[in-house]
A and B are shown apart, each in its own frame.
Chain A
C-alpha cells in the first residue's frame, strides 16, 4: 500500500491553529507557502479595510494588500520574533499605501460628486443627525475630510481611532515617538472636527458650530 508521505490538508489544518508569530516563523525558517496562505486568509480583510480607509478605493486597496503579502514573503528572513507580527505587517502595508497615495492625483475628482450627493441628501432631510448616517456615507465624508490631513495625521488617526492600536503600537508602525503620535492625533481630531463643522454644518452639533464661529472670529 502506498504510504502517505506528505499531506497538505493535514499541514494546513495544523497551521490554522498556529499564532500569527508562528506563521511568520514558519515563513522565515521553513519557506512555508501554506503558512503564507494562512496568513493571507487571516489578514486580507483587515488590511484591505485599512488600505481602503487610506486610499478610498477598494480595487487600489486590494492591489496594495497584494503587494504587502508579496513583500512579507520577500522579506520573510528579516522578521524578528521579538517584533509584533501585526505591527510588522501593518508597517509594510502602511508604507505601500502612503506611496500609492503620493503617486495618485485623482482624490478631489473622486470625492467631489460624493460630497455633492451628500449635501443634497442632507438638504432634503435636515433632521438627520451624524449618528444616523449610513456606513458608506461616513466613509465618503471621512475620505473628503481626511484629504485635509497630512499623511502622518491620517495614518495616526486611522490606526489609533479606527483600528484600535495603542499609541505604542502606532509609534512602532510609523517609526516615531509616542509623543509624536499623540501630537498627530490631537491635530488630526482638531482638523477633522473643524472641517466637519465647516463643510457639513447640518450634521455638526450646536456646541461644535459655536466653537468654530468663536475660533474664526
Chain B
C-alpha cells in the first residue's frame, strides 16, 4: 500500500459503477490502483477490462520522431500552397519530401547570402530590400511556388514588426535563425545566422 486510500472493495465498487452512476470514489480508486500492487488482481477479478488502463503507460515518442514530425508537418504546409487543401494530401509522401526540402533551404540560404554580400561589396546603390531578398529565397526554396518579387512577401513596415517576425519568412527556417541588422532606418546589411545550415 502506498496511497492514503485504503484498499477498496473492488466487486462492490465495480457493481456500483456498472449500476449506472460512477461512484464519487471511483477516480480516487483508480489512482490507488495505479500505486497499489495488492489491489491489482482483486480489481482485475472484478473487472478484467481494467487491464487496458495499462495502455496509457506505453512508451512516449522519441525526440527524433518529434523532429521528423515537425519536418513532415512543415512539408505538408508547403505542399498545401501548391495543391488545394483537402484535395488529397498524402502524409507519407510529405514526410519523405522533408529531407529534400532541407537541401533546397540550404541552397536558398547560400543564394541569399551571395546576393546580399554581392550588393554590399560592389556598392551598387540601394542594397536589395529584405522583402526582395526574402522573395528570392522563397523562390529558390519553393520554385513551384515562386511569385513575382513585388508580391511574394511584404516589407516590414516598422522596427517593431521586424523584431517580432522573421524577415525571411519565405525561407521557412525561422526556427533556428537569428537576424541581425546594421543601421536603423535605411536597412543596409542584414545577417542571418541559422544553426540548421551546415555550410
Contacts and interface: CB of A to CB of B under 8 A. Distances in A.
A138 B55 contact: yes
B150 interface: no
Given A5-B180, A130-B44, A189-B47, A12 B76 contact: no
Interface string B46-66: 111101111111101100011
A162 interface: yes
A189 B49 CA distance: 7
B55 A69 contact: no
Given A49-B56, A66-B69, A205-B45, 11 more contacts: A2-B191, A4-B179, A30-B164, A33-B174, A66-B73, A70-B77, A138-B51, A139-B58, A157-B52, A197-B48, A205-B44
Interface of A: 1-9, 12, 30, 33-34, 36-37, 40-41, 44-45, 48-49, 52-53, 62-67, 69-70, 73-74, 129-131, 133, 135, 138-139, 142, 157-158, 161-164, 182, 186, 189, 192-193, 196-197, 203-208
B110 interface: no
Contact of B70 (A1, A37, A189): A37
Contacts, number: 157
B140 interface: no
Given A34-B175, A40-B73, A186 B18 contact: yes
Nearest to B61: A45
B189 interface: yes
B85 interface: yes
A-side binding surface: helix, strand, loop or mixed?
A: helix
Contacts of B44: 129-131, 205
Contacts of A163: 56
Contacts of A207: 11, 45-46
Contact of A8 (B61, B92, B166): B166
A167 B92 CA distance: 34
Contacts of A139: 55, 58
Interface string B185-199: 000011100000000
7 contacts: A5-B162, A5-B163, A44-B69, A138-B51, A138-B55, A193-B49, A205-B44
Given A33-B174, A37-B175, A131-B41, A63 B92 contact: yes
B52 A142 contact: yes
A44 B52 contact: no
Nearest to B14: A189
Given A49-B58, A53-B55, A66-B72, A203 B165 contact: no
Contacts of A162: 52-53, 55-56
Contacts of A161: 49, 52-53
Given A2-B191, A37-B70, A70-B89, A9 B179 contact: no
A12 B54 contact: no
